[in-house]
Structure 1
Amino acid sequence: MATLTYFAGTMDSGKSTLALQMNHNHSERGRRGVIFTRSDRAGEGVVSSRLGLRHQAVEVTDATNFWHEVIERRTRGGVVDYLVCDEAQFYSEEQVDQLARLVDELEVDVFAFGITTDFRTRLFPGSARLVELADRVEVLQVQALCWCGRRATHNARTLDGAMVTVGEQVVVGDTAELETGVVGYEVLCRRHHMRRMTASSARAVSPSPDPLPLELETCPVPPPRYGDRS
């Protein structure tokens, strides 16, 4: 039976790499699928891995209807056995509902890959809906690491290297440049996310270029409270 599987992880945990590997494995067995993505850092209509792998994909927009996408392909005589959906955190709740309907009514396997929470530690709408509907949620076993060496569990947005906790939920990192600086992203453990301590800010308060995390007890910015939405 077809399933809706959500593969969740932080940045640097290999989501896009696994998505491309999943597509390769299924296509090698004669199955035919479609790869979707949204707002990949490499540009429109492409799934890119930090390891350098790339594959063409269908760009998801607010107007994308996955049910119609599959029905249209099948009406033209195409075969759709599965969907690979990268950057699924950016999908709308309605689009996730469409994916679940494809699984239940058309027996199309859906493999969704995404980040669960944003830079403010809030759930993305698409990720929240996937957790609610998925037949299976798998946390990727490749552990992204904080600069301190601990397992990274939180995604941080930086502006010219300094962590920020306000702003639009979706801003593509490594490519976006705002009036106030260059936007980037960094994975942190919970301890250093709460302290707003990125790798660059840690170096600023340590005499060593590679500070030992367990010895650092200071932070240049007062730690935020998670309950504060401002």
Structure 2
Amino acid sequence: MAELVFFSGTMDCGKSTLALQMNHNHAVRGRVGLIFTKLDRAGANVLSSRLGLSTGALEVADDLDFWESIVSRATAGGRIDYLVCDEAQFYTGAQVEQLARVVDEMDVDVFAFGITADFRTELFPGSKRLIELADRVQVLQVEALCWCGRRATTNARVVEGSMVIEGEQVVVGDTASGLEGQVEYEVLCRRHYMRRMTSHAARVAALSPEVLPFDLEVCPVPPLPITQAD
């Protein structure tokens, strides 16, 4: 019986690597699948891992209808056993519902991979809908680590060296050049996210003559602003 499975976690926990491995494992057993991705750091129409592995993929536009696309391929004689959907946090809620329909009505497995929450610790729309609809949600076992060595649970956005908590939800960072190259992401434990203590800020604090080594964990950091819900 086909399933909709959501593999989730923070950055650096191996989601894209697992997506590539999942596709390989099914393909070598004779199953036929399609790979989808959106806003991959390596560019359009590619699924890439930070380990350097990559493969071609179909780029997901906001107006893509997964149901119509898969039905069209099937009625044209194409065989589809499974879908690998990377960067699923960027999919719309409607697209996640379409994927669920593909599973239920066409008996096609869907393996979705994505970051759970954004740099503000708020759920991405695609991830939220996947958590609500998936048959299974699996948190990846490869733990990303904060600079302090603790398990990282949050994704921090760093603009020109400073952590930010405001801005557009979707900004592709960690790129080689251009304006977006000024944006980086770093995984942090909750403690250091709340203190806005990135690895760079920690190094600066450690070098400060006013901060003793054993005071590094409690050095003052401006508090996060409290905003009211709309």
Identity among equivalent pairs (%): 65
Query: Partners in 2 of 1:183 and 1:192 — Cα distance?
Result: 19
Query: Partners in 2 of 1:153 and 1:214 — Cα distance?
Result: 23
Larger deviation: 41-50 or 167-176? 167-176
Query: Partners in 1 of 2:93 and 2:38 — Cα distance?
Result: 14
Query: Partners in 2 of 1:123 and 1:8 — Cα distance?
Result: 12
Deviation at 1:207, TM superposition (A): 2.3
State TM-score, norm by structure 1.
0.93
Q: Is the 8 A contact 2:67 2:99 kept in 1?
A: yes
Q: Is the aligned partner of 1:216 residue 2:217?
A: yes
Q: Is the 8 A contact 1:194 1:225 kept in 2?
A: no
Query: Partners in 2 of 1:114 and 1:82 — Cα distance?
Result: 17
Q: Mapping of 1:168-187 within 5 angstroms?
A: 168-175=168-175, 177-178=178-179, 182-187=182-187
Query: Partners in 2 of 1:68 and 1:187 — Cα distance?
Result: 37
Paired residue secondary structure (1:216): helix
Deviations, residues 158-213 of structure 1 (Å, cap 9, x unaligned): 0112100000000001127549x8100000000000001100011111128xx978
Query: Partners in 1 of 2:158 and 2:131 — Cα distance?
Result: 27
Q: Mapping of 1:78-227 within 5 angstroms?
A: 78-175=78-175, 177-178=178-179, 182-207=182-207, 215-219=216-220, 221-225=221-225
Deviations, residues 1-46 of structure 1 (Å, cap 9, x unaligned): 0000000010000000000000000001000000000000000000
The residue aligned with 1:45 is 45
Q: Structure 2: which 5+ runs fail to align?
A: none
Larger deviation: 193-202 or 66-75? 66-75
For the aligned residue pairs, the C-alpha RMSD in angstroms reads 2.1
> In the comparison of the two structures, how many residue pairs are matched?
226
Q: Is the 8 A contact 1:148 1:213 kept in 2?
A: no
Q: Structure 1: which 5+ runs fail to align?
A: none
**Partner AA of 1:69 in structure 2:** S
The residue aligned with 1:8 is 8
State TM-score, norm by structure 2.
0.93
